[in-house]
Structure 1
Amino acid sequence: MEVKQNNLIKFLRIQPLIVVIRLENDFFNISHKRKNLLLKIEKLSDYGIKNIEIGWDSNPEWVNLILEIKNKFKSINLGVASITSIKSLESISSLDIKYSMSPFFNKEIHLNAIKYNQLVIPGISNIKDFEEAMNLGYKIVKIYPVSKLGINFINDLKENKKKDIFFIGAGGIKSENLKKLLENGYDALVIGKELRNQTPDKDLEIWLKNY
């Protein structure tokens, strides 16, 4: 797991942004939505986005979708969002995914992830979970939700950390907030539904010019 953490940190130092795309409930029932998703990812790649997460889905076809995206977009550092159960963890075990994330800290999930060398970045919203994640060997954590926890929380965590930790912020982040958050303690950020239709707006376009 340490190698996977180091590799992800390396990717995110090049461009400290992940765009997350969550599938609609009827995604696998409407054929053209698959095509639209691939076009959306292609457009994000053309804009210069290097890190994309796809939300986990229980539909059996989801695994094939991820494999198709991996094969079609080899330049994208592809991850999976919303690993919240053992079932979701098991479903990514054969995909050779470089990273995934959980919205919260679940010790059982993370212990199993470590056992099978799957990088599932824990979501952290309090100091207790942060300390437990560090004890398990995590050097990357996701602060969630940033829209509520803000900058003061990450400053509290930095006072309690015992080693170098890479902080990813997620939850309610808008493209206009990227610069401020990165200048005030966050090492990388996740942006999702606040980016309308996952299409870069003017603020994100300006930000991307530096990367």
Structure 2
Amino acid sequence: MKMQDVYQKLEEAALVPVLVIDQEDKAIPVCEALIKGGIRCVEITYRTAAASKAMRLVRKNFPEILLGAGTVLNRGQIDDAVDAGADFIVSPGFVKENVVYGMKKGATMIPGCATPGEMEQAMQLGVKVVKFFPAVSFGGVEALNLIGNVYGDLKFMPTGGINYSNMKEFLSCPYVIATGGIWMATRQMINEGAYEEITENANLAVTRKSEIR
């Protein structure tokens, strides 16, 4: 999928549940629960050994889902994410060499950028969307409005400290393309198989999103 198409789908989705999956077979029911709640976009993080297999299961069983690979820290994970069929690749920080490597492989890279210097470097590489993490700790919406006013063409996907209580504030920011977080489907919910709760959280988030977009 072309980078611009990924950006468009990401903006349409607006919500990106960040999933930490310990057992790959949990990937299918948690995605079913999110879809039931109205969400068709997920980011599976490389925080566990099950991430790679989980992504492949999602790609095989849910072709309609916009699939992201998160917490990507090195070239090996970039290779694996591309091979698994990830639509976009997210890193918590900015490493120029990794961004260049991923883009050469045709991946849509969304690197974490917390400073203007990092953002300008990402923009010079052709990146149009960056992760802003941890969003709340680094100034939240107020910071995004100030930064976005300077870098008008750059969009942000903030995560870190965002939940149901403040997601509307972030999604109302004109510089935010989408917002993510673990709260819609926490690691504990996934491990306990709390799929009804995940569906409810997804539905609540979609309802709140619809008040804005």
- TM-score, L = length of structure 2: 0.83
From 145, 149, 157, give the equivalent of 1:159.
149
Quick check: 1:45 aligned with 2:35?
yes
2:60 and 2:122 map into 1 onto residues whose CA distance is 32
- Figure out how many residues of one structure are paired with residues of the other and give that number: 199
Indicate how the Cα distance of structure 1 residues 63 and 183 shifts in structure 2: closer, same or farther if over 3 A, else same: closer
Residues 20 and 53 in structure 1, CA contact (< 8 A), matched pair in contact too: yes
Residues 113 and 120 in structure 1, CA contact (< 8 A), matched pair in contact too: yes
Quick check: 1:34 aligned with 2:24?
yes
* Counterpart AA for 1:4: K
CA deviation after TM superposition for structure 1 residue 184, in Å:
2.6
1:132 and 1:8 map into 2 onto residues whose CA distance is 21
Indicate how the Cα distance of structure 1 residues 95 and 18 shifts in structure 2: closer, same or farther if over 3 A, else same: same
CA deviation after TM superposition for structure 1 residue 54, in Å:
0.7
CA deviation after TM superposition for structure 1 residue 47, in Å:
0.7
CA deviation after TM superposition for structure 1 residue 65, in Å:
3.0
- Which digits, 9 at most, give the CA deviation of each residue in 1:44-99, with x for residues without a partner? 1111101111112574x643432221111122111111111122112223223210
What is the alpha-carbon root mean square deviation over aligned residues?
A: 2.3
Alignment of 1:123-202 (within 5 A): 123-149=112-138, 150-161=140-151, 164-185=153-174, 186-193=176-183, 196=186, 197=189, 199=198, 200-201=200-201
CA deviation after TM superposition for structure 1 residue 6, in Å:
0.9
From 9, 14, 17, give the equivalent of 1:16.
14
CA deviation after TM superposition for structure 1 residue 193, in Å:
4.1
Quick check: 1:206 aligned with 2:201?
no
Report the counterpart of residue 6 of structure 1 in structure 2: 4
- SS of 1:129's partner is helix
- TM-score, L = length of structure 1: 0.83
Which runs of 5 or more residues in structure 1 are unaligned?
28-32
- SS of 1:141's partner is strand
Report the counterpart of residue 103 of structure 2 in structure 1: 114
Quick check: 1:56 aligned with 2:57?
no
1:114 and 1:100 map into 2 onto residues whose CA distance is 10
CA deviation after TM superposition for structure 1 residue 152, in Å:
2.3
Residues 20 and 192 in structure 1, CA contact (< 8 A), matched pair in contact too: yes
Residues 167 and 179 in structure 2, CA contact (< 8 A), matched pair in contact too: yes
Residues 141 and 167 in structure 1, CA contact (< 8 A), matched pair in contact too: yes
Amino-acid identity (%)? 22
Which runs of 5 or more residues in structure 2 are unaligned?
191-197
1:138 and 1:40 map into 2 onto residues whose CA distance is 30
Residues 69 and 90 in structure 2, CA contact (< 8 A), matched pair in contact too: yes
* Counterpart AA for 2:29: L
1:106 and 1:135 map into 2 onto residues whose CA distance is 13
Indicate how the Cα distance of structure 1 residues 14 and 74 shifts in structure 2: closer, same or farther if over 3 A, else same: same
From 47, 65, 73, give the equivalent of 1:76.
65
Residues 172 and 194 in structure 1, CA contact (< 8 A), matched pair in contact too: no
Report the counterpart of residue 55 of structure 2 in structure 1: 66
